[in-house]
Amino acid sequence: VYFPLDIQKLIDRLDVLLEQSMSIPYRVLIVDDSDAMGKVSANILIKAGMEVQVLKNPLDVFFPLERFSPDIVLMDVYMPQCSGDEIAKVIRQYTQFDSVPIVFLSTETNRIKQLMARSMGGDDFWVKNMPEEELIASVNMTCARYRSLRRWMSCDSLTTLLNHTHIIDFLERSVARSKKEALSLSFAMIDIDHFKKINDNYGHSIGDQVIKSLARLLRQSINGEGAAGRYGGEEFAVVFTETSLVRAAQKVDDWRKRFSELIQSSNDIQFQVTFSAGVATLKNNMDAAQLIDAADSVLYQAKHAGRNQVGL
């Protein structure tokens, strides 16, 4: 197969990818038993604008993996408590850290030993004391690629909103934070009315367009106040952080009006679509699942009361 590659165009795109993903500094976790060695790499990467944590004991790696949430782990190989390849193998048993690259950074130049370390779950093997620019470039490129991958992993492919797993994850983290800091939190479940008829009358690709048009409206309106995701099919979930029930319901009702006024079209036929929604707010002792259930049950009432309305 011959791919006509426009190399310059691809390089430009790579630059854009790097710039985009660097807007939040990369977080680098260095694991090295030697203070001096750890500091050398740390200083180079800090100078290049990255956030760096250095850990001396590999057995303590799980706490910073969770709390610091690094974009890359630079792992020494020879350490007294446990070797770098052994700890890499342990980390690789946790799927929650699958998207964190582990790169060995060691003085070991023996190819066989490097290969053995890599077969334990590291993603690459770099030899220590490489030129500064090379270390910075290698870390930048690896972090950019993995950040981009993580972004796509959390997206719903049709709408590019958060997917089911990630909107639930966002909700769970928001619930925990709201409880801890005594902040209000509201949640909406939105469901397009008689969507099956749209598919039946105009076909699934027009149905997809309708879903995308609602997603666009939600994305444009939510920024900064929470997150919107595709819960599944023609159902959307919206988390309103630090927002009361009344304010969240007002917002959703505003979207409801705007959506119902959008003109959808299939060839030369024009039509309008509505949605129903249920809004609930976090009360004491509720968890994320109960908040979803609460929104669901008022959504059900809104459907039964005639659709195109917001229940609360």
- Residue from 27, 195, 250, 308 that binds ligand GH3 (CB under 6 A)? 195
Binding at 94: pick from Mg ion, ligand GH3, none (beta carbon under 5-8 Å per type): none
Measured from the CB atom, is 68 or 300 closer to ligand GH3?
Answer: 300
Binding at 76: pick from Mg ion, ligand GH3, none (beta carbon under 5-8 Å per type): Mg ion
What distance in Å separates the CA atoms of residue 80 and residue 32, rounded to the nearest whole number?
10
- Residue from 117, 135, 144, 192 that binds ligand GH3 (CB under 6 A)? 192
Q: Considering the rule CB under 6 A, would residue 199 count as an interface residue with ligand GH3? A: yes
Min dist. Cβ of residue 202 to ligand GH3 (A): 9
Min dist. Cβ of residue 151 to ligand GH3 (A): 21
What distance in Å separates the CA atoms of residue 140 and residue 134, rounded to the nearest whole number?
10
Measured from the CB atom, is 163 or 243 closer to Mg ion?
Answer: 163
- Residue from 66, 134, 208, 254 that binds ligand GH3 (CB under 6 A)? 208
Q: Considering the rule CB under 6 A, would residue 304 count as an interface residue with ligand GH3? A: no
Q: Considering the rule CB under 5 A, would residue 108 count as an interface residue with Mg ion? A: no
Residue corresponding to tokens 């939190």 = 185
- Among 172, 234, 235, 242, the active-site one is 234
Listed in sequence order, the residues at least 6 apart from 11 whose beta carbon sits closer than 8 Å to its beta carbon are none
Residues in touch with Mg ion (CB under 5 A): 33, 76, 78-79, 191-192, 195, 235
Residues in touch with ligand GH3 (CB under 6 A): 158, 191-196, 199, 204, 207-208, 211, 233-234, 303, 307
Q: Which are the catalytic amino acids?
A: 234
